[in-house]
Amino acid sequence: MLQLKNIEYQQKDNKILHQIQLEIKTGEVVAFIGLSGCGKTSLARICSGLVPYFYDEASFSGEVFFDHVKLDEVTNTEFIKKVGVVSQDPKSQFFTTIVKDELAFEMENYGCNPKVIEQRIQQVSEALKLEDILNQTLASLSSGQKQKVAIATALMTDPSLVILDEPSANLDLVSTESLKEQIKHIKQQGKTIIIAEHRVYYLMDSVDRFIYMEDGQIVKELTALEMTQLSNAQRAKMGIRHTDLSEIENERKNQSDFSQTINVRDVQASVKRKKILQSVSYQHRAGEVLALIGKNGAGKTSLAKALSGLTHISSGEILLESQLLRKRDLKKSVWMVMQESIYQVFGDDLLTELAIGKRNVDQVQIEKILKKMGLWAFRNQHPYNLSGGQRQRLVLAIGLIQQREILILDEPTSGLDGKNLTIIAHFLKELSREGKHILMITHDPEIILKSCDRILLLEGGKISQDKKISELATSEVLKLLSFQE
């Protein structure tokens, strides 16, 4: 099906891939795994034809064969019809506003018969259970629904090869279970599937080979059985996340020793005249790490923006002890790491980025924080060239440099491998010991069980459950994250 020979790829002076030799058979499901920045996404781009068709050919060398035909002997239009690609951020590849129009878009560009397009939309939407949302706007969909539409769009031309780049990165456990079934459905059709991924638990019964990469090279191949046989020490060293969520250990036992408390009282807020937050109330002691969970559309990000002073609060109040925190106070005290962290970076390199807005730049402090975040080796790179997980760590580092006391992180582990997730968990514990208030919007049981003190469930515009992690078994946390009664 697909064969790569002697692949070399670099961006400027940064070598991305080196000596890649790989063969993938028809109907095989292969997962690229490894630490953030190891070359998974770049290898997936080569398999999809984005390299060299849409990226600098001068930085690429080697041979790619698709169905025994050399890629440079085929026009890009011919090849692209055979490949369906789903990026890590699905909405970045949408071109229309309505789901049905998005499904039709690529086939319309190829000049396909309208009746054929309509038939294909019906086939794909039935297979992926999209019938109920065909006439909805893409902006109104949840992350899981957008992911499903992106997969449907990739299948419209009936490609023989489907490539998914970190497809579970922004999904909750329920949506990830749905993704798992979609992958099985595509596999049953005999299609070849390539997945670049950090979360592997949902892939264990569908992937034929796990390709483990280090520093731009393929180091080893593992079966699903061999993945489960890795010791915890081996997995930690390789940065591989848990293969079975039920085996995650609850590591959070300590309670905060600080007395300073943020009181959120009856906060209400609306988005486009629709009331999202009905009456949110809870307390947050200094030194506590809170996990905020809830279904897509529950208002988690709206609450985070309200706490950051970025959204108008129609009623209610936020107090630090008895002192009322107004919008301007919140903007000075709170730092929010957004899910789409690319919109929060402005410098030409990491060192410049951390110095922005600082009158007296402390290079020693910058070096210390970058090393803690595992980013020192990338200090001279442009932030846009970092992986998603690396960029999120950079934005968190900015908040620490600015000495904000309240940190809000929106899905901070969405692009993280196991090793860097552990680094972030340890760092959050360290910050909690310093008395920081930390609120994490997350669906990730690994980071919750490693670093959080309490778990808050937001539903119906209110905090409906507030539980101490230390008093919960792993199974109970997983049940909460699956929104089961």
- Structure tokens, 46: 């080569």
Last residue of a domain, one of 247, 276, 293: 247
For residues 142 and 44, the model is more confident at 44
- 327 belongs to a structural domain: yes
Structural element, H or E, at residue 80: helix 76-80
The model's pTM is: 0.86
Highest mean pLDDT among 168-182, 200-214, 244-258, 341-355: 200-214
Query: Which value, to the nearest 10 degrees, does the dihedral of the CA atoms of residues 385, 386, 392, 398 take?
Result: -70
Q: Comparing C-alpha atoms, which of 398, 388, 297 is closest to residue 352? A: 398
For 322-338, the pLDDT digits (tens) are: 889 888 889 888 988 88
Does 350 share its domain with 413? yes
Residue 381 confidence (pLDDT): 87
The rounded distance, in Å, linking the Cα atoms of 56 and 272 is: 43
* Percentage, residues of the chain above pLDDT 70: 98
Place of tokens 């908040």: 399
- 255 belongs to a structural domain: no
- 256 belongs to a structural domain: no
For 121-140, the pLDDT digits (tens) are: 999 998 888 898 999 999 88
CATH code, domain carrying 380:
3.40.50.300
Does 360 share its domain with 441? yes
Average pLDDT for 219-231: 94
Does 235 share its domain with 307? no
Q: Comparing C-alpha atoms, which of 85, 84, 106 is closest to residue 95? A: 106
Does 468 share its domain with 338? yes
How many domains in the chain?
2
Average pLDDT for 389-414: 85
Q: Comparing C-alpha atoms, which of 454, 417, 414, 401 is closest to residue 432? A: 454
Does 83 share its domain with 11? yes
Does 286 share its domain with 239? no
DSSP 336-371: EE-SSGGGG--SSSHHHHHHTT-SS--HHHHHHHHH
Does 118 share its domain with 23? yes
Domain that holds residue 177: 2-247
